[in-house]
Structure 1
Amino acid sequence: MFFGWILVIAVVYLLVKGDTKVNFTQKESPEQKLKERYINGEIDEETYLRMKSVIHGK
């Protein structure tokens, strides 16, 4: 019984403490993801510009 309480307290502590590196309130926008793909060389400039115009609805 004693170990059960310790386990419950440990689980609650880990849930409340959370991970400071994870921030669920700030999600990357589609344009930020697109820019990151371009910078990493995953897509070329033409594709970047075309996809950017699609994102902005132009």
Structure 2
Amino acid sequence: MIRINRIWLATEPMDMRAGPDTCLARVVSVFSEAKPHQAYVFLNGSSGITVGKNEHILR
């Protein structure tokens, strides 16, 4: 089971075609760091939702 202790919602849209390195860079630029067991939620331009748990975007 994936453990998520906190969910962060970004208020700016993100290109959903971005790869894992771009997603991680965006998490760090928006939230200052990527913390373990936390999920980061971004909206695309048409309000679709994408969730990235940091263990999955980190190598």
Q: Same fold by TM (over 0.5)?
A: no
Greater relative contact order structure (CA < 8 Å, 6+ sep): 2
State the TM-score, normalized to the length of structure 2: 0.32
More helix by share: 1
Higher gyration radius (CA): 1
Higher strand share: 2
Name the TM-score, length of structure 1 as normaliser.
0.32
